[in-house]
């Protein structure tokens, strides 16, 4: 998280350095800093309003008190979105549909999740629902072979809904615990992508009307405000049930997580902190903010 950290802890530390009290000028600089980190104008203003109101009621208005209160407010902002993904014993296979625009990290996150679930003792199967790119199918197949995780795939250009339907049936027959379905991030147009996803969901529901049990939107946190726009669009079109935010390791714009938390009433399940297979964390508000403010 070094770059997010640079903006938050370094930026904030520099801002408060050598100041003995919190004044208007300092607040304005803090506001600019949070907006630059993509916390968003409204979210930043709400945060600062809350902080100044709280602190006016306090005797000690030192910068230290202020930063501690800011950190606490950031934790509070995220805490309501800290809702982990849980599998119920009766739901088998648990169907997890991964969606998101191209390059956000869907396939990478599928690998990370598959490994994690497997380590928890669950059986996992993957569906190569991104049939738009031949390379996407191979990417999943190769990964599955290497990790002894079965991958249900057809040829490129095949119907994504039918691949996922087949995989769901196979997963049922084989009594698999978790089926994770990959989908395309890009089709000819955004409308055709949304239509395809709707069709995938419709077809899955022919087998089980409660499935997919999770429609997980994968967002690239490093693209800032665009991630929020994407989330709104996907949620309107297909109904998202959980979020994974990726690339929080390599970004100065990680502040978007606060904006997303404030704007969207959606659980944040996982955060991606790198390209490696183990670089995925269950989202925890306090751990996350503490890491953001941690010294290098």
Ligand X SMILES: Nc1nc2c(ncn2[C@@H]2O[C@H](COP(=O)(O)OP(=O)(O)OP(=O)(O)O)[C@@H](O)[C@H]2O)c(=O)[nH]1
Judged by CB, which is closer to ligand X: 129, or 212? Answer: 129
Partner that binds at residue 267, options Mg ion, ligand X, none, CB closer than 5 to 8 Å by kind? none
DSSP-derived letter for residue 209 is: T
Residue 34 binds ligand X, judged by CB under 6 A: no
Q: What angle do CA 34, 35, 41 make, to 5 degrees?
A: 115
Residue 131 binds ligand X, judged by CB under 6 A: no
CB of 183 to ligand X, least distance (A): 8
Residue 247 binds ligand X, judged by CB under 6 A: yes
Contact 98, 183 (CB under 8 A): yes
Residue 108 binds ligand X, judged by CB under 6 A: yes
Binding mask 199-238 for Mg ion (x = CB under 5 A): ----------------------------------------
Residue 107 binds Mg ion, judged by CB under 5 A: yes
Residue 196 binds ligand X, judged by CB under 6 A: no
Answer for which of 38, 177, 214, 249 binds ligand X (CB under 6 A) is: 249
Taking the C-alpha atoms of residue 129 and residue 75, their distance in angstroms, rounded to an integer, is 36
User: Which is it for the CA torsion 53, 59, 63, 67, positive or negative?
Assistant: negative
DSSP-derived letter for residue 9 is: I
- Backbone torsion region of residue 65, taken as left when φ is above 0, otherwise alpha when ψ lies between -120 and 50, otherwise beta: alpha
Partner that binds at residue 242, options ligand X, Mg ion, none, CB closer than 5 to 8 Å by kind? none
Taking the C-alpha atoms of residue 46 and residue 125, their distance in angstroms, rounded to an integer, is 44
Partner that binds at residue 108, options ligand X, Mg ion, none, CB closer than 5 to 8 Å by kind? ligand X
Residue 144 binds ligand X, judged by CB under 6 A: no
User: Under rule CB under 6 A, how many of the chain's residues touch ligand X?
Assistant: 21
- Backbone torsion region of residue 239, taken as left when φ is above 0, otherwise alpha when ψ lies between -120 and 50, otherwise beta: left
Closest CA to 82 of 256, 296, 273, 245: 245
User: What is the binding site for ligand X (CB under 6 A)?
Assistant: 100, 102-108, 130, 136, 185, 218, 246-247, 249-250, 272-275, 279
């Amino acid at each position: 998280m070094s770059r997010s950290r640079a903006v938050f802890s370094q930026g904030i530390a520099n801002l408060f350095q050598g100041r003995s009290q919190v004044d208007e000028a300092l607040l304005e600089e803090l506001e600019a800093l949070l907006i630059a980190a993509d916390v968003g104008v409204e979210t930043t203003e709400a945060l600062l309003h809350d902080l100044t109101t709280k602190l006016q009621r306090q005797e000690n208005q030192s910068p230290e008190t202020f930063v501690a209160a800011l950190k606490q407010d950031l934790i509070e902002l995220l805490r309501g979105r800290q809702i982990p993904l849980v599998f119920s014993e009766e739901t088998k296979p648990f169907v997890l549909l991964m969606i998101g625009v191209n390059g956000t990290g869907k396939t990478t996150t599928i690998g990370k999740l598959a490994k994690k679930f497997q380590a928890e003792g669950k059986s996992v199967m993957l569906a190569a629902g991104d049939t738009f790119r031949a390379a996407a199918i191979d990417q999943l197949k190769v990964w599955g072979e290497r990790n002894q995780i079965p991958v249900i795939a057809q040829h490129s250009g095949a119907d994504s809904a039918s691949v996922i339907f087949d995989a769901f049936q196979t997963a049922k027959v084989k009594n698999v615990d978790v089926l994770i379905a990959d989908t395309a991030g890009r089709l000819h147009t955004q409308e055709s992508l949304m239509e395809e996803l709707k069709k995938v969901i419709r077809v899955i529901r022919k087998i089980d009307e409660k499935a997919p049990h999770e429609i997980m939107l994968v967002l690239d946190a490093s693209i800032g405000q665009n991630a929020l726009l994407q989330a709104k669009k996907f949620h309107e079109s297909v109904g998202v049930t959980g979020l994974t935010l990726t690339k929080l390791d390599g970004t100065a714009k990680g502040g978007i997580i606060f904006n997303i938390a404030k704007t969207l009433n959606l659980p944040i399940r996982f955060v991606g902190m790198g390209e490696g297979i183990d670089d995925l964390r269950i989202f925890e508000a306090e751990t996350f903010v503490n890491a953001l403010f941690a010294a290098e």
